[in-house]
Each structure stands twice: as C-alpha cells, then as structure tokens.
Amino acid sequence: MLISPSESAALRALGTSTWHAEVWGVDVFWVARGETYGVQRKALADLVASVDDGRLAKERLQMRSLHHAFLVLETGEKGGGSPREMPNTQLASLGTFGRPWTGAQLRGLLYGVMADGVQVMLVRDEAETIARVLELETWSRKERHESARGRGQVPRDVFGKRDSRAYGMWLLSSLPGVGMEMAGRIWDEFGGVPVRMREGVGVKELMKVKGVGRVVAQRVLDVFGERE
C-alpha cells in the first residue's frame, strides 16, 4: 500500500510513504488481484478549499485511471451513530472568496464526484478513515464478493413457515430476469413451477404473466434448452 508523504504518521504507518500515490490523484494507492485501488481522504474544510483552488478537478481526472476510486470525507462529527449532514451554518463558514456553501451545494458536489465513478464514504475523523481503508484493502483481496448477489434463504410466511409456494418462488427467482415478485406471479399463473416449461408453456404463455416480456420469456426458456 502506497501512502502520500503529506498524510499523518498514523496513515503512513499503513504502508510505504511515497509521492507515487498522488500520481493517481489519491492519498492511498494499492493493487489487488490485478486491479488498482485508490482512496482520496479529505476533511470537510479541505474539500471545500480543493474546489475553490482547482485541486479536486485535477484529482477527479486522475482518479478516472483507477479501477476503483474512493473519496473518504471526514465530517468532524462527534459522538455515536453515523455521520450526519453538516448544517448550513457550519458549511457557510467554510466557503472562500466570499462564497458561502449550503447543504445542497455539498450534495451536488458529491453527486458529481460519484458520477465520475468515485465512491463516496462519510466518516467522522482520521481514525475512521484508517478503519475504512483497512476494510477496503481486505475486501479488495478477497477472491469473490458474493454477499450481495445471492438470493438469500427461502422466504417464510407470516407464521414463520415455508410452504411450497415459497420454495417455488425461490426456485423461479434463480431464472434470468425473474425477481421474487415476478416469481410469485409466475407461480400463481401456472399453479406451480412450470418445470422444463411443460407442454403448452412457451413464450406466449409466459408473456401472460404481468411484467414478463418476450426477452425475459425467451431467456427463461433458454435455461431449459427450449427456444421458440
């Protein structure tokens, strides 16, 4: 992990201190599984200043060369819970050139950063920044990231039981283009799971189900090797 020499001793302790990280427009840079990662760390006041002096525009261009770029914004908040949005009065005191900032302006700036493909995370202070960097670095080196891709468990009814419809919906939701809601409509239309799209169930029949178009219907049939 490469850390900009301009960072604190605590952050530099995570890796090797070198200006090379700033070539990518970030303060922390590393490579994991053949892909580049970078974290730009800014306190709220520095973020506002970097807009006014043009640094952020330059860094945004540089970060586009990364596979994965992150902006960690330190809000300076105290106490428990998640970082809260800064009040307009506090933001106004950060503006330069006589230009006060508002919450809407800050959010607009962050929307623009995210539109560039840079992920934004809000933290309170440097300690949380270090924790997030370590989490990201560990995550980046995992061979697979499947937690957000699975279908989860078979759903239960209001009595905490799993009936045949629940199992059927869970099975149908594995088909391409079919979510849980659509899976329920397919089950209700055919009174069960139309295994191998049993005789008489083709594209036209599937399209009778609300939300199922021709493309989705054919993709479902393709799973069973039945093209129309």
**pLDDT of 103 strictly over 90:** no
For the chain, the structural domain boundaries read 2-140, 164-223
Q: Of 116, 114, 105, which is closest to residue 61 (Cα–Cα)?
A: 116
pTM of the predicted model as reported, rounded to 2 decimal places: 0.61
Question: Do 2-140 and 164-223 fold alike per CATH?
Answer: no
**164-223 CATH choice from 3.30.9.10, 1.20.1250.20, 1.10.10.10, 1.10.150.20:** 1.10.150.20
The CATH class that applies to domain 2-140 reads: alpha beta
Over residues 170-226, the pLDDT tens digits come to: 888 888 778 888 888 888 888 888 755 556 788 888 888 888 888 888 888 887 765
Over residues 35-67, the pLDDT tens digits come to: 999 999 999 888 888 888 899 999 999 999 999
